[in-house]
Structure 1
Amino acid sequence: MKNFIESVVRTPGMLFMSILIIGFTVNAGVQYINATGFEGPNLLAAGCLLVGQFAVAVVHQLRRLGQGNATPSLQ
């Protein structure tokens, strides 16, 4: 299981999408504190990025399995 998690973390684009999710969530919090009423689009963007991140991880793992590359063991 540890190898699988490390493989997902090293998937291209995961770190960038995680940074964007954190940024949109913080921006939504700031908008909520300031009572501007614009936190909805930021939360929607963060949610869409989360779903996209999951899809990228699944596609990447399926590609690895299709190529016959098993998850590398770090021994």
Structure 2
Amino acid sequence: MEPWLSSLQTATAQEGFELALKLSRMGVKYTQPSAEARDRLRPQYAEDAGALIASSQVVAINFQTVAAANNYWRG
């Protein structure tokens, strides 16, 4: 894969959250590089509350990482 992450630094918390989402999506992409397989599995987890909660937890952990890297956007 081509490099895509140049920094965890963002100007705002909103940008940081969007980066956390991208980190989460890219984690799935690296884990399962087959787009066909991801597309085939998506309907199964789209209706699974536990899987959606787990996905949200991954995003939250990534957001914690980005927030810490940005000193929690405090001066």
TM-score (norm 1): 0.40
Which structure has more relative contact order (CA 8 Å, sep 6+)? It is 2
TM-score (norm 2): 0.40
User: If you compute each CA radius of gyration, which structure gives the higher value, 1 or 2?
Assistant: 1
